Amino acid sequence: AQSVTQPDIHITVSEGASLELRCNYSYGATHYLFWYVQSPGQGLQLLLKYFSGDTLVQGVKGFEAEFKRSQSSFNLRKPSVHWSDAAEYFCAVGAVRGDDYKLSFGAGTTVTVRA
Amino acid sequence: DGGITQSPKYLFRKEGQNVTLSCEQNLNHDAMYWYRQDPGQGLRLIYYSQIVNDFQKGDIAEGYSVSREKKESFPLTVTSAQKNPTAFYLCASSSRGPPYEQYFGPGTRLTVT
């Protein structure tokens, strides 16, 4: 079965500093990789996605992620964090098997931004 | 404005009562999903539907039921058989082709006492 691991439960970063959130997955089939962000009490918003092509993908709000097949990783980065980036971030991996498609989510990483 | 609506935002029920959560989308997506979110556990898939009049159990389907009579709608019923129904419920939809990204509604927080 597929699994997605976000090793860091909580990260605190200073405003203006860089941010990296880790995501590792175990998978065998063709897969699709996503990062979502969630503010408290809200739904999830898609930040970026990867399914083919350039392994460095750009997303919204200045985020980027790099797919490394050899390491089974899809880490999210932002060069300079803003206070509004405080939220919970979820990595997700999708698998297609025939007509069936499902996403598996990591447990999430909460990001706190200090002034 | 295309999107997914979930209603109500907050729902309170007494133990032993069934309750139905609404999910509507106007994105013309074939596939729809229901997730449950608990603190520290990420999202867990309850049920999903790839096409009208068809749906499959996800990882935690026990105590829940769904229907998919229309493409736009995928209501979730939390039955009295669900042992711990208090949670945040999220509905999502996606196209059936790559890259299959899912779009989420704002969620419904259900509290059962």
Residue B35 has pLDDT above 90, yes or no: yes
Mean pLDDT of all residues in A66-95 = 94
- pLDDT at A27 exceeding the cut of 80: no
Confidence of residue A30 (pLDDT cuts 50, 70, 90): low
Handedness of CA B77, B78, B82, B84 (dihedral sign): positive
Whether residues B42 and A108 touch (CB distance < 8 A) is answered with yes
Q: For residue A30, which phi and psi values (nearest 5 degrees)? A: -55, 135
In the predicted structure, residue A12 carries a pLDDT above the cut 80: yes
The tokens of A66 are what?
């790099």
- What is the amino acid identity at position B87? A
Chain B residue with the nearest C-alpha to that of A89? B42
Q: Which two tokens stand for residue B13?
A: 């029920």
Q: Of B42, B48, B107, which is closest to A42 when you measure between CB atoms?
A: B107
- B1 CB-near residues (< 8 Å, 6+ apart): none
Helices (H) and strands (E) in chain B, counts: 0, 11
Chain B residues contacting A via beta carbons under 8 Å? 4, 6, 31, 33, 35, 40-45, 48, 50, 56, 58, 88, 90, 92, 94, 96, 98-107, 109
